[in-house]
Structure 1
Amino acid sequence: MYIQSKLPNVGTTIFTVMSQLAVEHNAVNLGQGFPDFMMSEELTDLVAKAMRDGFNQYAHMNGLPLLRERLSEKVAQLYQINIHPDTQITVTPGGTYAIYTALTTVLQPGDEVIVFEPAYDSYIPNIEVNGGVAVRIALQYPDYSIPWDEVRAKLTSKTRVIMINSPHNPTGSVLSEQDIVELRSIVTNTNILILSDEVYEHLIYDGITHQSILRHADLLERSFVCFSFGKTYHCTGWKLGYCIASPSLMAEFRKIHQFNCFTCDTPKQVALAAHITHKEAYLSLGTMLQEKRDYFRSLMANTAFKLIPSHGSYFECYSFEGLSNLADKDLAIYLTKHHGVATVPVSAFYKDSTDNQVLRFCFAKQKNTLDKAIEGLVSFKA
Structure 2
Amino acid sequence: MEPTRSVLDSGGLPNDHEDAHHIRRYEAHGGDARDLVYLSLGETWTAVAPGLAATLADQVPVHAHGYTLSPYGLPALREVLRAYIARTHDLPPSGGTPYDVAVSQSGTRAAMSDFGRLLLRAPRTADATPTALVPTPGWDYRGVLAPLGYRLRSYSLCPDQGWQPDVEEVETLLDGAGRDALLVLNPQHNPTGTDWAADRVRGIIGAAVAHRSAVLIDDAYYAIHHPGEPPTNALRILMEEMTPTSAPWLATRTLGKQFHCNGWGIGALTAAPATLADLARIAQERSYGCALPLQAAMAAWLESDAADTFLHQLREAYATTRGRVADRLHRDLGFPPQAVHPGTCSAYLRFQVPDRFVRDGSEAHYRRLCVAAGVLPGAGSMTASPGAPAPRARRPSAYVRLFVGQPGHVLDEALDRLTRAGLGW
TM over 0.5: yes
State the Cα distance separating 1:181 from its structure 2 match.
2.5
Which digits, 9 at most, give the CA deviation of each residue in 1:101-152, with x for residues without a partner?
211211356111111122212x113222222221222321363321221211
1:198 aligned residue: 219
State the Cα distance separating 1:51 from its structure 2 match.
5.1
1:130 corresponds to 2:130: no
Report the CA distance shift for 1:52/1:21 in structure 2 as closer, same or farther (over 3 A): farther
Report the CA distance shift for 1:22/1:319 in structure 2 as closer, same or farther (over 3 A): same
Q: Aligned runs of 1:213-362 on 2, under 5 Å?
A: 213-216=234-237, 217-219=239-241, 222-278=248-304, 279-301=308-330, 302-305=332-335, 306-326=339-359, 327-337=362-372, 339-346=373-380, 348-351=382-385, 356-362=397-403
2:417 aligned residue: 376
1:95 aligned residue: 108
**Any conservation in 2 of the 1:22–1:341 contact (CA below 8 Å)?**
no
State the Cα distance separating 1:173 from its structure 2 match.
1.9
- With 323-332 and 158-167 compared, the bigger mean Cα shift is at 323-332
Q: Distance in 1 between matches of 2:139 and 2:20?
A: 14
Which digits, 9 at most, give the CA deviation of each residue in 1:70-118, with x for residues without a partner?
1121222222213538972221211212211211211356111111122
Q: Distance in 2 between matches of 1:330 and 1:100?
A: 31
**Any conservation in 2 of the 1:18–1:344 contact (CA below 8 Å)?**
no
SS of the aligned residue for 1:188 comes to: helix
**Any conservation in 2 of the 1:94–1:242 contact (CA below 8 Å)?**
no
The sequence identity of aligned pairs, in percent, is: 19
**Any conservation in 1 of the 2:185–2:218 contact (CA below 8 Å)?**
yes
The TM-score with structure 1 as length reference comes to 0.87
Q: Distance in 2 between matches of 1:334 and 1:298?
A: 22
Q: Aligned runs of 1:170-209 on 2, under 5 Å?
A: 170-205=191-226, 207-209=228-230
Q: Distance in 1 between matches of 2:299 and 2:234?
A: 23
Q: How many residues align?
A: 370
Report the CA distance shift for 1:154/1:55 in structure 2 as closer, same or farther (over 3 A): closer
- With 183-192 and 56-65 compared, the bigger mean Cα shift is at 183-192
In structure 2, list runs of 5 or more residues that go unmatched. 1-14, 122-127, 388-394
Q: Distance in 1 between matches of 2:94 and 2:418?
A: 49
**Any conservation in 1 of the 2:56–2:297 contact (CA below 8 Å)?**
yes
Q: Distance in 2 between matches of 1:52 and 1:244?
A: 26
In structure 1, list runs of 5 or more residues that go unmatched. 1-10
Aligned with 1:146 (options 149, 157, 165): 165
**Any conservation in 2 of the 1:174–1:311 contact (CA below 8 Å)?**
yes
The TM-score with structure 2 as length reference comes to 0.79
Letter in 1 for 2:86: A
Q: Distance in 2 between matches of 1:207 and 1:49?
A: 34
2:390 aligned residue: none
State the Cα distance separating 1:211 from its structure 2 match.
1.9
State the Cα distance separating 1:165 from its structure 2 match.
0.9
- With 55-64 and 135-144 compared, the bigger mean Cα shift is at 135-144
1:364 aligned residue: 405
Report the CA distance shift for 1:348/1:265 in structure 2 as closer, same or farther (over 3 A): closer
Letter in 1 for 2:318: L
